[in-house]
Structure 1
Amino acid sequence: MAIEAGAIVEQPREEPHGGVLYVVGTPIGNRGDLSPRARRVLEQIDVIACEDTRHSGQLLQGLSGHGRLVSFHRHNRQQRQPQLLAVLASGQGLALISDAGMPGISDPGEELVAAARQAGHGVICIPGPTAFVMALVGSGLPCGRFVFEGFLPARPGARRQRLQYMAAESRTMVFYEAPHRLLALVKDLLELWGDRPLQVGRELTKRHEEFVGPTTATALEHFRDQPPRGECCVVVGGCPAPATLPWDGDALAAQLQRLVRQEGLSHSQAARVLAQRSGHSRQRLYALLLQRRHGGEQGAGP
């Protein structure tokens, strides 16, 4: 197409764009992992929402400039989110970062992204390090299919119930855990799941990065002698496929009732867990549980 002499050709504006939410991945330890694109966006963006303004201020102090810092975390997200949406509505650019890694993973960033999209604002992700992906790939365990569970419940009973529900999962599983709860988690894993392949990744990308394994028992022994420091990623091998056990209605019913009464699982959950352990059909086990329950109710006298 011919362009007339003297005509002004408008060039597309480079990032960051106004009225757009940028979800920016930041280093999980090594500051050299901040990408050039992320650096450029953070230097030129109008407003940066972050978990801790002091922590993020340290990360950003080496930049030539950066947007106004605004705190956004799980304790203030309800009152802060409308303010951040108003920033986008005014035509300013907004960047979302976390203390480390990719926002939206185990933090309230996912709520802001959903709200921004619902309000009709653009959302652009700037890739960056993600701790659980690094731990998974570096563990040596199967990566083709996996389950990311984030942080398990902090209360022991709720944590054990969740682990009991997941005991039959055949895919590799990845968890985040705080150092002061890691030992309790590894103990629960050994007791409830047995001695499986396991790697605990800690201090990832930092000078003292390490993986502790290769099994649950060896990791437990290690952390009993050397208390863990820093946030940890726990990668656990999935449940091996069980050999189908002979059908013993009384024994299977007793196991189902134990899962329901002692572990607090629903009937459907108990049948699912035992199906994976025994190799029998979940539907058949569920029917057995209902049959024994109704039979017990009918047989109970006044």
Structure 2
Amino acid sequence: MTVRIQKSFAQAVGTLYLVPTPIGNLEDMTFRAVKTLQTVELIASEDTRNTQKLLNHFEVKTPQKSLHEHNYNERIPELLAFLKNGNSIAQVSDAGMPSISDPGHELVVACIEENIPVVALPGATAGMTALIASGLMPQPFYFYGFLQRKKSIQKKELTDLKNQTATLIFYESPHRVKETIKNILEVFGNREVVICRELTKVYEEYLRGTAEELIDYLSEHSLKGECCLLVSGAVEIEAAEVFVGSLKEQVEQLIEEGQAPKEAIKTVAKRHDLKKQDVYKEYHEL
């Protein structure tokens, strides 16, 4: 395998700049970010209408093209050709860092494959901003982003994260945050939780408490604005249960302990997240 080295500022082709935008307060836009938007030949935006408001505020005249989850397959070849002709592009999402729970990653990968330099600018991002003011341990942390909406899938995701000792960072809708915390309580237990909403805006608010306390609060209060949800890491890690023997031997052991063969097969299948038919075939050597 050959190591590929990117010299970010010594290339003949154009450059893809990843430019963070404010997550609420426009004063969080950096001087470098504004200058980059002014000097590139094109801005690739998640939503051109939303970004145009930002460009108008900072008097940026650079043209835009949309790049989002529904059009990236056809748009990326066009943008790559533009970059190869020596033009530079600034990619922005509606708020915060491109690629962090927002579009962007596909274009980054495509540029790397074509040896087009990718330069990230530092700037606003909700997860880290909320973390350092949350009062929870700032490191290590585990950024997860959005959990799945369906309860059963979300609980499976949380179960996979249960033994993480790092502070967990999620993004969540204000309409779903109460149910999500209920699932967290059920899977994790009564951990410390922090909800941060309306980050950097005039109504910015941190709600700190245990999962139970926040559920009680949310039973009587509604929230507005996108939420960053932070959960303290695990203190005691549950040891994974170890099962000895082949699937057939495990079924036989349960039968010896008094389970009916059908129930024993079901138990072993559940242990290993397998279909009952697969364990049935192993047991009967089919």
Q: Deviations over 1:160-203 (max 9, x none)?
A: 11112211222111101122211110111112211101101110
Residue of structure 2 equivalent to 1:200: 195
Residue of structure 2 equivalent to 1:182: 177
Gaps of 5+ in 1: 1-13, 242-275
Q: Deviations over 1:41-88 (max 9, x none)?
A: 111211111111111111110223332111111111212111211221
1:287 matched to 2:244: yes
User: Does the residue aligned with 2:209 lie in a helix, a strand or coil?
Assistant: coil
Residue of structure 1 equivalent to 2:5: none
Residue of structure 2 equivalent to 1:166: 161
The separation in 2 between residues aligned to 1:56 and 1:173, in whole angstroms, is: 30
CA contact (8 A) 1:44 1:65 kept: no
Q: Say if 1:65 and 1:108 are closer, same or farther in 2 by CA, change over 3 A.
A: closer
Question: Match for 2:17 among 14, 19, 22?
Answer: 22
Distance apart, 1:111 and its partner CA? 1.5
Question: Match for 1:145 among 140, 146, 169?
Answer: 140
Distance apart, 1:292 and its partner CA? 3.0
Q: Which 10-residue stretch deviates more, 61-70 or 181-190?
A: 61-70
| Equivalent residue pairs, number | 251
Residue of structure 1 equivalent to 2:34: 39
Kindly report which structure 2 residues correspond to 1:108-257, keeping only aligned pairs within 5 A, or say none. Answer: 108-241=103-236
The separation in 1 between residues aligned to 2:169 and 2:243, in whole angstroms, is: 29
TM-score (norm 1): 0.77
Q: Deviations over 1:254-277 (max 9, x none)?
A: xxxxxxxxxxxxxxxxxxxxxx32
Q: Say if 1:294 and 1:34 are closer, same or farther in 2 by CA, change over 3 A.
A: farther
Residue of structure 1 equivalent to 2:266: none
CA contact (8 A) 1:171 1:239 kept: yes
CA contact (8 A) 2:13 2:84 kept: no
Q: Say if 1:176 and 1:293 are closer, same or farther in 2 by CA, change over 3 A.
A: farther
Q: Which amino acid aligns with 1:223?
A: L
TM-score (norm 2): 0.81
The CA RMSD measured in Å over matched residues stands at 2.4
Residue of structure 1 equivalent to 2:3: none
Of all paired residues, the percent bearing the same amino acid is 37
Q: Which amino acid aligns with 1:295?
A: Q
CA contact (8 A) 1:18 1:92 kept: yes
Q: Which amino acid aligns with 1:208?
A: Y
The separation in 2 between residues aligned to 1:146 and 1:288, in whole angstroms, is: 37
Q: Say if 1:90 and 1:288 are closer, same or farther in 2 by CA, change over 3 A.
A: same
